[in-house]
A and B are shown apart, each in its own frame.
Chain A
Amino acid sequence: MGFKAYVARRLVNTVIIVFVTVTLQFFIFRIMPGNPLAHFISPNFPLESRRALMEMWGLDKPMHEQFITYLSNLLTGKLGISFISQRYVIDEVLERLPNTILLMGSSTILMIVLGIHLGVLAGSRRGSKSDLASVTFGLLTQGLPVFFLGLLLMLTFSYYLPVATGGLINFPVAGTVSRPPPADLPRYFMDVLWHLTLPMVTLVIISFGGYTLIVRSLMIDVMAQDYILTAKAKGLPERSIIYGHGLRSILPPISTMVGLSLSGIVGGAVITETIFSWHGIGRYLYEAVLQNDYPVMQGTFFLLSMVTIIANLVVDLIYGLLDPRIRY
């Protein structure tokens, strides 16, 4: 089978997966216990008001009609109207997406760079102090609960240190920008970076360990291969052996890991976004689940699944470029 036939087959599979995912997303949320009205149960919302809300949301219609409405909302790209805010889901997603991409993108890049670097270092020097330190630190940070680390950093750098140093060290308690933000662009940019620091550091500390441990393990296997021994015998510099021959050959599994983390860049980080009051997709999705806001859940999960499916497709296709042994 040639590359074109492979691509065609993968595309057909992808379309089927998308349809199945979209259908499951509709029914799973409706099977879940509870309904969106639960959050309008208050003396201010008597029974007739709640019934009017059900009509307004279209939940009084038969299931097949709701499913058709849902599909048409996906096809128009509006993704439906949120029950809670009465805004188009796509508008709310686009409002939050830049914040999430900024936080998750920057932290993912940093964690990959740091994780791979430490993993290569540890794997290529097995048994050394740097190996021991990388493994220990990686295991420790990976095991830390994110809410604990996030709160610890927030209270230390945003409250105790500012108070102790008279504001010399002072990170913001909440938000993506100052409230209100600076008017001029350079200061605005710096302000965003200032707000980004703590949530980004939290995510990097929590996540880089996973990369380190996997890359280390892959590197240990690779460094024991005959071709590495040959390279050493040829007298190649160590750097060239490690990065040119060792790292190169473990790129396919690393690219799979990176590909899988792409959906996380769009999906956000619920706990970190909540602790630092970061206006992102993760918290949006979490609140939607709590409030049974079906259109938001359906819309955001649709976007997330699309990103995951496409990322998997792309990773599969570029495998051949990274590993010449793979033939379609």
Chain B
Amino acid sequence: MFRSYAVLLILCVTLNTFHMWVASSVPEISKYPINGPRLDEILFVYHATPEAAVAAIRKGDIDILSDIFRPSDVHVLSEDLNLNITFSQQTHYCYVAFNTRREPLNDKQFRKALAHLIPREEIASKLFEGIVVTPMLYETSPAFGRWHNPNVATYPYNPTRARQILASGGYGWDKDGKLIGPDSKPLRKVSFISPTQEEAPTSYEIAKLTVEEMKKIGLEVYQEPLSFDSLLTKVLTERSFDIYFLCVSNLGKYPRWLYDYYHSSLDVPDGDNTPGVRDTELDRLLYTFRFESETEEEGERAVWRAQELIADLAARVPVYSRYQIEAYRKGLEGMVEHRGVGYFTSGAFWTYLNLSRVGLPAGGKVKVDVGGRVRTLNPLYGSGAYEQKIITLIYDSLLASDPKTGEIVPYLAEGWKLQNLMVGKSKVQKITFKLARNATWHDGETLTSADIRFSMEYLKQNRVPAFISSLERVINVSDPDPYTLEVTMNGTSFFNLIDVGGIVIIPKHIWKDVSDWRTFQPDREPHPKVKGLTKMVGTGPFILAEEKPGEFWRLRANPNYFKRLPAVKTPVEGVGLEEWSLNLRTFSLIAVPILLVSIGYLILRRRVSTRI
């Protein structure tokens, strides 16, 4: 009898372990583009607090939750057997910046010494329990793939090294241990601006810890907590700061922000070069990377060298990067990890194209937490991460990118040709796109090159803020035939293709009558011809079926999608993994108590018989 129960117990444990392994493994997808959508419907729902969102996924109200940032939530969700948790590196980082215009921070050696005083490990372990962030030493993190240069100067926490750097730079200490400058005069008091404890408790604590470290080496420094708005005004507009701490996220696939952050032309009020970096060589490299590199290899060389200079300048020192932590209920498959983004968040386009229920290759529904307030679904204005989650499933672009390598892959444009030309003394680039012939708008109209031309001209003429930098180099757009588009651009940068290939494509037949693009709300106006549709007409894999702003947005699969599945497979008959798992759990629930009672009974009987 004992042997039978032991076998049963081992069987239960083995099957449970196997089930957990199967459900948590994420399939590898190597070829893009892939076809879809597989799901019939995606319902995006809004929760105003993390408590509500976490309760909703645990309760089964939703299937997918992104942007989990509290260690306590990670603990709770990890313990839930119905959920899988994913951790992805994302293009986010928090940094300490120094004002290089002011003494003593205008001294590179001084900044390098301070950079060694940031207790990154302590911050990660003490404030984030070592699970939601990773300490960061590089301005461009490994999440950027080929664009990340690992061979640059780094500043790990090392107070001894900081003292050595200061000493070698001519700094000294008075009899009270206070830091004195190379001119033997005491250094002025320095302020460290941080958000307030109420507004951002973690950022406040990080600044506090760093200030303590700086005080230990004899620097007179004090923390100046400011409201987020005041902080930005002081830093970004007025430039009246010494040191500050801030975070930035959604840096994109390419380290283009380096140009904005370090080029001297952006050292102007409201420009992003807040530390005031002015370096001719760095300017040249960043300009080459941003506007002149004809190939990615050329761009890579420039940006790698730029990263070396940036690291050596130590004007902005990375502290940590937050993981993209996401949870999903077991029973889903086909999710794709997007480099620097994660599996389900904004920009995880391939996941929603390929996602399906286990045992149901096509069909089914999922409920997804949208993450935050969806402000507008106007594709020209809705640039926030939450509205983009929805918009990118409704509107397509000419090109897409491989989620793993970031390599450009065809999408609405099935192919393209680049021609570098000389017009007078200027270098220009002509890009010829060949469009997919089977792509249609949600209302059945055919997508033609006239739509793409209209989109580019409309965005450029109206100076739509989100697309200004993407289209600023476009000189001319023409559509020689319905499936060919020619775009002529200034310069021969490899970003030309990426910029025009990524813009949103809007239907000419809807948007040509829009009087003011700014106030146009396509999701709230009925379609002029097709009943049941709104003017939210795209070519994307999903159609906006229903919405209640502030509550939910229901998307249904586009049955005529140009990349639809070749043939919809019939659902797998029989018991799926979920039911099987449920049966196993029910079985375990019955078997384990019986086993325990039997063991107890046998022990008791043996004791009784021993006494007798």
- A-side residues, CB < 8 A to B, are 32-35, 37-38, 41-53, 56, 81, 84-88, 95-96, 151, 154-155, 158-159, 162-163, 173-177, 179-181, 273-279, 283, 287, 292
Contacts and interface: CB of A to CB of B under 8 A. Distances in A.
Nearest 3 A-B pairs (CB), nearest first?
A34-B229, A279-B550, A43-B257
Contacts of B367: 179
Contact of A86 (B252, B373, B378, B548): B378
B55 interface: yes
B52 A46 contact: no
B52 A173 contact: yes
Contacts of A37: 270
A162 B518 CA distance: 45
Interface string B168-198: 0000000000000000000000000000000
A313 B549 CA distance: 35
A48 to B, nearest CB: 5
A43 B552 contact: no
Given A46-B260, A53-B465, A158 B55 contact: yes
Given A43-B260, A173-B61, A181-B548, A35 B229 contact: yes
Given A43-B250, A43-B260, A86-B381, A34 B233 contact: yes
13 contacts: A33-B233, A34-B228, A34-B230, A34-B233, A37-B270, A49-B468, A56-B518, A84-B375, A158-B59, A173-B47, A179-B45, A277-B49, A287-B373
B546 to A, nearest CB: 6
Given A35-B233, A179-B45, A275-B49, A174 B270 contact: no
Contacts of B202: none
Q: Report which residue of B260, B373, B551 has the largest number of chain A beta carbons within 10 angstroms of its beta carbon.
A: B551
Contacts of B55: 154-155, 158-159, 173
A96 B268 CA distance: 41
B564 interface: no
A162 B250 CA distance: 37
B383 interface: yes
Interface in B187-220: none
B271 interface: yes
Contacts of B232: 34, 38, 41
Contacts of B509: none
Given A154-B55, A292-B229, A52 B468 contact: yes
Interface in B249-275: 249-252, 256-257, 260, 266, 268, 270-272
B304 interface: no
Interface string B340-372: 000000000000000000000000000100000
A99 B402 CA distance: 44
A42 B233 CA distance: 15
B52 A275 contact: yes
A138 to B, nearest CB: 28
B43 A179 contact: yes
B518 A86 contact: yes
B137 to A, nearest CB: 20
Interface string B32-69: 00000000000101111101100110110100000000
A45 B381 CA distance: 12
Contact of A180 (B43, B237, B381): B43
A275 B53 CA distance: 11
A269 B183 CA distance: 59
B472 to A, nearest CB: 8
Contacts of A81: 518-519
Nearest to B372: A287
Nearest to B51: A151
A35 B55 CA distance: 35
B469 A46 contact: yes
B48 A42 contact: no
A121 B474 CA distance: 77
A47 B251 contact: no
B521 interface: yes
Contacts of A41: 232, 236, 248, 272
Nearest to A92: B549
A47 B552 contact: no
Given A34-B230, A42-B250, A44-B383, A86 B52 contact: no
Nearest to B553: A179
Given A35-B233, A38-B232, A275-B48, A180 B546 contact: yes
